[in-house]
Chain A
Amino acid sequence: DVKVTQSSRYLVKRTGEKVFLECVQDMDHENMFWYRQDPGLGLRLIYFSYDVKMKEKGDIPEGYSVSREKKERFSLILESASTNQTSMYLCASSTQQGDGTQYFGPGTRLTVL
């Protein structure tokens, strides 16, 4: 079974703090994704990566950056957290050989005070 894990299920941070969200997958997938999920807005793509050290902006990259130093790990960084970044953050991975099916982690609920 594909397993995607995220470093925290719940996180509370203060405005202006630098926040790191970590994601690890164990299926040797090339592609990894970060989404945020908000009520009424569905899943919105922040960034994705299709190879180590490669990244592409998604639909809402502002205020975020990412890092992919190893194939299995994809990090989302909030350089200076703001209250409007309070959300559920979901990581996913997929193989480039497949149809594009993405497998998701359990999510991190981030609250910025």
Chain B
Amino acid sequence: GESVGLHLPTLSVQEGDNSIINCAYSNSASDYFIWYKQESGKGPQFIIDIRSNMDKRQGQRVTVLLNKTVKHLSLQIAATQPGDSAVYFCAENMMDTGRRALTFGSGTRLQVQP
């Protein structure tokens, strides 16, 4: 079936290092992708999105890369800080179908070591 998944369930990095969180998706028809951050006890928070006509998009300290050839999505966080510790989800959507519901991956926990 169609799925959105993550390669690593837990990622531990040192404060100040760069973090890379990966996501594999299986539906080649997906054309819109979102990264969410969920801190403990809170709801998911939108971080950054990318459409399938792009391969890179940058925000503040975050970059999302999309490789449609291998159906792979990554989130890069520069100079990781303790406040970045959270669970990160990728999600996909198929805009042309008018699909209203996103498909979410299971999440990767990022732990930032001081």
- A33 at the binding interface (Cβ < 8 Å): yes
- A90 at the binding interface (Cβ < 8 Å): yes
Comparing B13-21, B44-52, B53-61, B66-74, the segment that makes contact with chain A is: B44-52
Which residues on A sit within 8 Å (CB–CB) of B49?
99, 101
* Pair B102/A99 contact, Cβ less than 8 Å: no
Which residues on B sit within 8 Å (CB–CB) of A42?
89, 104-107
- B93 at the binding interface (Cβ < 8 Å): yes
Which residues on A sit within 8 Å (CB–CB) of B105?
42
Interface residues on chain A, size class:
20 to 34
- A61 at the binding interface (Cβ < 8 Å): no
Q: Which of A43, A48, A104, A106 contacts B100 (CB 8 A)?
A: A48
Q: A40-B106, A105-B43, A107-B42 are in contact. Are A100 and B93 (CB under 8 A)?
A: yes
- B95 at the binding interface (Cβ < 8 Å): yes
Which residues on A sit within 8 Å (CB–CB) of B99?
100
Our count of residue pairs bridging A and B at CB distance below 8 angstroms stands at 53
Nearest-neighbour CB distance to chain B for A77, whole angstroms, equals: 20
For B43, give the chain A residue with the smallest CB separation.
Answer: A104
* Pair B100/A50 contact, Cβ less than 8 Å: yes
Q: Which of A31, A99, A100, A107 contacts B43 (CB 8 A)?
A: A107
Find the residue from B41, B44, B49, B89 having the highest chain A CB count within 10 A.
Answer: B44
- B77 at the binding interface (Cβ < 8 Å): no
> Complex formed: what's the CA distance from A102 to B36 in Å?
10
Give per-residue flags for B88-114: 1 if the beta carbon is below 8 A from chain A beta carbons, else 0. Answer: 010101010001111011110000000
Which residues on B sit within 8 Å (CB–CB) of A40?
106
Nearest-neighbour CB distance to chain B for A103, whole angstroms, equals: 7
Known: A42-B107, A43-B104, A102-B102. 7 other contacts (CB 8 A): A42-B105, A90-B44, A100-B95, A100-B102, A102-B46, A104-B44, A107-B41
